[in-house]
Structure 1
Amino acid sequence: MLFLVAALLVLGVLLGAVAHLPVPVSAAAGLAIALWLSLFAARERLSGRQRAARLHHERGGLR
């Protein structure tokens, strides 16, 4: 419950800050965040595939 309250507080602060920024600055920040999240998701997806292949190989493949 405390985590939810803290998350909502941070979200409110961020939205309040964005409301006072010009639209191009807000759009650039949003684009930067979207790019960062996309790179993170791609890296995690590739990491998961490599981990699964390594596990499969360590267990001796199909038996």
Structure 2
Amino acid sequence: MIFLVAAFLLLGVLVGPPAQLPPEVTLSAAAVIAAWLLVFTVRERTRRNRPRS
């Protein structure tokens, strides 16, 4: 039960603010976050696959 309350609280905190913003702002922020995650993923994969010297 506590897990459900925490999940709903977290969902409300994460989804609440974007519901109040215009769609253009929400989509542009989502694009920035997605680009940052893509850059982070590429950097981590290349760092992990690099042979050690």
With structure 2 as the length reference, what TM-score do the two structures score? 0.77
Counterpart mapping for 1:1-63 below 5 A: 5=6, 8=7, 9-50=9-50, 53-54=51-52
Of 8-17 and 23-32, deviating more is 8-17
The RMSD of aligned alpha carbons is: 2.0
Larger radius of gyration between Structure 1 and Structure 2: 1
Structure 2 stretches lacking a partner, 5+ long? none
Q: CA deviation at 1:14?
A: 2.1
Structure 1 stretches lacking a partner, 5+ long? 58-63
SS for the counterpart of 1:36 is helix
- C-alpha distance in 1 between matches for 2:11 and 2:33: 15
- Number of aligned residues: 49
Runs ≥4 in structure 1, deviation > 6 angstroms?
none
The higher relative CO (CA closer than 8 Å, separation ≥ 6) is in: 2
